Structure 1
Amino acid sequence: MKRAPLITGLLLISTSCAYASSGGCGADSTSGATNYSSVVDDVTVNQTDNVTGREFTSATLSSTNWQYACTCSAGKAVKLVYMVSPVLTTTGHQAGYYKLND
């Protein structure tokens, strides 16, 4: 009957190992929030700041913070999670902007 804690522990260890081997790129919640929909700050990244190790912090509607950081080695892809407001037009181009995947 004491196998459940052991199995749970092994599952947690295997999950953390998988994350560590995949690298630490992306947005990390500093407060345990689980979705990106409440990010309200505009995080503007200049080309000179778009380098490994640079961090950006963004506040959310629920007063929590998100840190944007990449600790990936050079040559690895970084998947960004973002939103556009106001919504871009679905046909053609909007002044100064291009629709995604255009």
Structure 2
Amino acid sequence: MYIEVSETPGGSQKCVLVEPGDLGSLSVRAGKLDAAAVGRVLESEHAGRPIGDGSSNVYVSIAWLRRVGSDSWGEAEFVRMVESAGKAGWVDPLGEYLMAHIDKQA
């Protein structure tokens, strides 16, 4: 699954969860937005936050994923995905966010 993040010149922002049934991957597609702009959009939509380490990764809210995507998976499947991400080191220390890489497109 991935999150499509956009910001218009007028300041309109949005996050859309795409392919929510694909629990095997998680990324953020951000067009030409940099990591700071992606973090601002995620925060404004209560979908995540920047990591703040200068990388091209952000944190995505587990609660937001559940809220917008739960019709596409069973809770047990989702829990297994989060546990697997935790074993790989992709969950924040408090267990509230999953780390996701920002894919930029031209």
TM-score (norm 2): 0.26
Greater strand proportion: 2
From the CA coordinates, give the structure whose radius of gyration is larger.
Answer: 1
Structure with the higher fraction of residues in helix conformation:
2
